[in-house]
Chains A and B, each alone.
Chain A
Amino acid sequence: MLVDIQNLRIAFETRTSVFEAVRGVSLNIGTEKLGIVGESGSGKSLTARALMRLLPTNARVTADRLTFDGVDILKADERAMLRIRGKRAGFILQDPKYSLNPVMTIGRQVTEAWRTHKGGGRKEAKEAAIDLLAQVRIREPRRVYDLYPHEVSGGMGQRIMIAMMLAPDPQLLIADEPTSALDATVQAEILRLMEDLVSQRGMGLLLISHDLPLVSHFCDRVAVMYAGRVVEELAAGDLSKAQHPYTRGLLNCLPSLIHPKPRLPVLNRDEAWLKS
Chain B
Amino acid sequence: MTKRLNALAGLLASVFLTLFGLVIVTFLIGRVMPIDPVLAAVGDNAPQEVVERVRQEMGLDQPLVQQFFHYVWQLLHGDLGLSVLTKNPVTSDIARYFPATLELATAAVIVAALIGIPLGVWAAVRQGSWVDQTIRVICLAGHSVPVFVLALICLLVFYAFLGIAPGPGRQDIIFQDMVPHVTGLLTVDSLIARDWDAFWDALAHMVQPVCILAYFSMAYITRMTRAFMLDALRGEYVITARAKGLPPRKVIWLHAFPNVSVQLVTVLALTYAGLLEGAVVTETVFSWPGLGQYLTVSLMNADMNPVVGATLLVGLVYVALNLLADALYRQLDPRVR
Contact with A along B49-70 (1 / 0, CB 8 A): 0000000000000000000000
Per a CB cutoff under 8 Å, which of A83, A86, A103, A150 touches B244? Answer: A86
Q: CB distance A103 to B246 under 8 Å?
A: no
In the complex, what residue of chain B is closest to A94 when comparing beta carbons?
A: B236
Q: Are A86 and B243 in contact (CB under 8 A)?
A: yes
- Contact of A103 (CB < 8 Å), options: B242, B243, B258: B258
Given A103-B258, A150-B335, does the pair A168, B237 have CB atoms closer than 8 Å?
no
Contact assessment for B237 and A85 in the assembled complex, using a CB-CB cutoff below 8 Å: no
Q: Given known contacts A95-B236, A102-B335, is B243 in contact with A90 (CB within 8 Å)?
A: yes
Query: What's the tally of chain B residues with a CB closer than 8 Å to chain A?
Result: 21
- Interchain CB contact under 8 A, A82 and B240: no
Quick one: which of A52, A93, A99, A164 has the most chain B CB within 10 A?
A99
A117 interfacial contact with B, CB 8 Å: yes
CB proximity of B231 to chain A, nearest CB, Å: 13
On chain A, the residues within 8 Å of B259 by CB distance are 101-103
Q: Answer yes or no: A40 CB below 8 A from chain B CBs.
A: no
Contacting pair B334 A103 (CB below 8 A): yes
User: What residues on B are CB-neighbors of A145 within 8 Å?
Assistant: none
A54 lies within 8 A of B242 (CB): yes
The docked-state distance in angstroms from the alpha carbon of A86 to that of B334 is 26
- In the docked arrangement, what's the CA distance between A148 and B243, Å? 20
Q: Which of chain A's residues have a CB closer than 8 A to the CB of B246?
A: 82, 86, 112, 116
Shortest distance from the beta carbon of A27 to any chain B beta carbon, whole Å: 19
Q: Mark A81-118, 1 if CB is under 8 A from B, else 0.
A: 01111110011011100111111110000001100110
Whether A86 pairs with B245 at a CB distance below 8 angstroms is yes
User: Which residue of A has the minimal Cβ distance to B128?
Assistant: A57
Q: Does A165 contact B (CB under 8 A)?
A: yes
Query: A113 CA to B236 CA in the complex, in Å?
Result: 16
Q: A102-B259, A104-B258 given as contacts; is B239 within 8 A of A54 (CB)?
A: yes
Chain A residues near B334: list those with CB within 8 A: 102-103, 105, 148, 150
Contacts of A165 in B (CB 8 A): 243-244
Q: Is the CB of B236 within 8 A of A85?
A: no
Question: Does A99 contact B245, Cβ atoms closer than 8 Å?
Answer: no
Is B241 on the interface with A (CB-CB < 8 A)? yes
Chain B, 254-271, contact with A by CB distance < 8 Å: what is the 0/1 string?
Answer: 110011000000000000
- A113's partner among B235, B244, B258 (CB-CB below 8 A) is B244
Closest Cβ–Cβ distance, residue A225 to chain B (whole Å): 21
CB distance from B257 to the nearest CB of A (A): 10
Bound: A87/B247 CA distance, A:
13
When distances are taken between beta carbons in the complex, the residues of chain B under 8 Å from A85 are: 242-245
Is A161 interfacial (CB 8 A cutoff)? yes
Cβ–Cβ contact B245 & A54, under 8 A: no
Option from B235, B255, B258 in Cβ contact (under 8 Å) with A98: B235
- Residues 294-337 of chain B, each 1 if its beta carbon lies under 8 Å from chain A, else 0: 00000000000000000000000000000000000000111100
Could you say which residues of chain B place their CB within 8 Å of the CB of A112?
244, 246, 254
Complex Cα distance, B336 from A103, in Å, reads: 11
CA gap between A99 and B239 in the complex, in Å: 8
- Nearest residue in A to B262 (C-beta to C-beta)? A103
Interface pair B243/A91, CB less than 8 Å apart: yes
Q: Which residues of chain B have C-beta atoms less than 8 A from A98's C-beta?
A: 235-237
Known: A101-B259, A102-B334, A102-B335. A82 touches B237 (CB 8 A): no
Do the beta carbons of A100 and B237 come within 8 Å of each other? Answer: yes
Give the nearest-CB partner of A174 in chain B.
Answer: B243
Nearest B residue to A89, CB-CB: B243
| Nearest chain A CB to B281 CB, angstrom units | 39
Cβ contact within 8 Å between B243 and A52: yes
Contact status B258-A99, CB under 8 Å: no
From A164, which residue of chain B is reached at the shortest CB distance? B244
> A52: nearest residue on chain B (CB-CB)?
B243
Contact yes or no, B245 A103, CB < 8 A: no
Which one, B245, B332, B335, contacts A84 given CB within 8 A? Answer: B245
Say yes or no: A101 contacts B255, CB within 8 Å: yes
Chain B residues whose C-beta falls within 8 Å of the C-beta of A90 in the assembled complex: 243
Question: Which residues in window 1-26 of A have CB below 8 A to B?
Answer: none
A150 to B254, CA, bound (A): 18
A94 to B236 Cα, complex, angstroms? 9
What's the Cα separation between A249 and B237 when bound, in Å? Answer: 36
- Shortest distance in angstroms between A154's beta carbon and chain B's nearest beta carbon? 14
B243: A residues at CB distance < 8 A: 52, 54, 85-86, 90-91, 93, 165
Chain A residues with CB below 8 A from B332, complex form: 103
Q: Are A116 and B240 touching (Cβ within 8 A)?
A: no
Residues B153-211 near A (CB distance < 8 A): none
Task: Please measure, in the bound complex, the distance between the C-alpha atom of A168 and the C-alpha atom of B255, giving whole angstroms.
Answer: 19
Q: Which of A54, A82, A103 contacts B247 (CB 8 A)?
A: A82
B235 to A, closest residue via Cβ: A98
Interface string of A202-232 (1 = CB under 8 A from B): 0000000000000000000000000000000
> How far does the alpha carbon of A113 sit from the alpha carbon of B244 in the complex, in Å?
6
Contact between A100 and B245 (Cβ–Cβ < 8 Å)? no
A108→B247 CA distance, assembly (Å): 17
Chain A residues near B245: list those with CB within 8 A: 82-87, 113, 116-117, 168
* A-to-B contact residues, CB < 8 Å: 52, 54, 78, 82-87, 90-91, 93-95, 98-105, 112-113, 116-117, 148, 150, 161, 164-165, 168
Residue positions of B touching A, CB distance < 8 A = 235-237, 239-248, 254-255, 258-259, 332-335
Given A93-B236, A102-B335, 4 extra CB contacts under 8 A: A85-B243, A90-B243, A103-B334, A168-B245
A-B contact pairs, 9 of them (CB 8 A): A78-B248, A85-B242, A91-B243, A93-B240, A102-B335, A104-B255, A104-B258, A105-B334, A148-B334
